Amino acid sequence: MSIRFGANPIIWSNDDLRELGAETSLETCLGEARQIGFEGMELGHKFPRDARELAAILARFGLACISGWYSSSLLARDADAELTHLRAHLDLLKALGSTVLVFADTSGAIHGDPRRPLAQRPQLAPGDWRQFGRRVTQVAAATAAEGVRLVYHHHMGTAVQSEADIDALMDATGEEVGLLLDTGHARFAGADPVGLARRYASRIGHLHAKDVRAAVAERAARGFLRAVVEGVFTVPGDGCVPFDRVFQELRDYSGWVVLEAEQDPAKADPQTYASLGLRNLRQLVAENRR
């Protein structure tokens, strides 16, 4: 099965805490990514949102547009209203040839506020999952009809964070909804990325590969962004996630494997860590998908 390796610009410039990597230009990010050997990039806040301009700059560096994060508010509005808000982003992805939509509900989310502890994240009551899942499925069916698969990104500080949250989401949604397995967010949340890969292999449509420094995660209850600055995430092979077992469970996976290990670039040189991460990922895939 086909695997393509890409990167997220958050390695160079953080989207939630924009002073991290603020001085790094988009051209530096794309140039280093291409030099390292990545085939594509996900979108970030420094990318132009005009399709022609975006296509031109990516073509200059020989990189594909993999996808781009979209923040939904389906806990507060219905699917039709969400699709109206999504339209410009979806059209941009389609124009660039992207076939995957990275989707996460951020209603009441606290991951972007360094003052908010993780305990203050939004949580759904057991009876709320059915309506939420129905809305996500409706949006996913609509994007699929236009050739773009919705993959739900579980994320620290949001309503879908824990392993129980992920299980509830998968149970409440139809097959139209894919899962974005983020190994770093899973491990940080106390979930088992190997178990998630095993249970949802047929629905995993996108993979964000990052490792976790366990000692930082254990003291990170004060807040998500504080943990990022303190180095909770790193590249595969530099932390505690058992990537060999993850890839064994995903031996039939086909699609993008995206390196997305945000750190403070002043402490962790992006080119050095991205090079190490890609090298380790290539080796892990080669060794565990035979």
pLDDT at 129: 98
Q: Which amino acid is at 206?
A: H
pLDDT tens per residue across span 230-285: 999 999 999 999 999 999 999 999 999 999 989 999 999 999 999 999 999 999 99
Q: Looking at residue 220, what is its pLDDT?
A: 75
* Dist CA 243 CA 239 (whole Å): 10
Residue 113 pLDDT: 87
pTM for this one?
0.96
| pLDDT (tens digit per residue) in 160-202 | 999 999 999 999 999 999 999 999 999 999 999 999 999 999 9
User: What per-residue confidence (pLDDT) applies to 290?
Assistant: 65
pLDDT digits (tens, 9 = 90+) for 55-104: 999 999 999 999 999 999 999 999 999 999 999 999 999 999 999 999 99
CB 105 within 8 A of CB 86: no
* Core vs surface per residue 74-87: b (16+ CB within 10 A) or e: bbeeebeebeeebe
d(CA 98, CA 151): 13
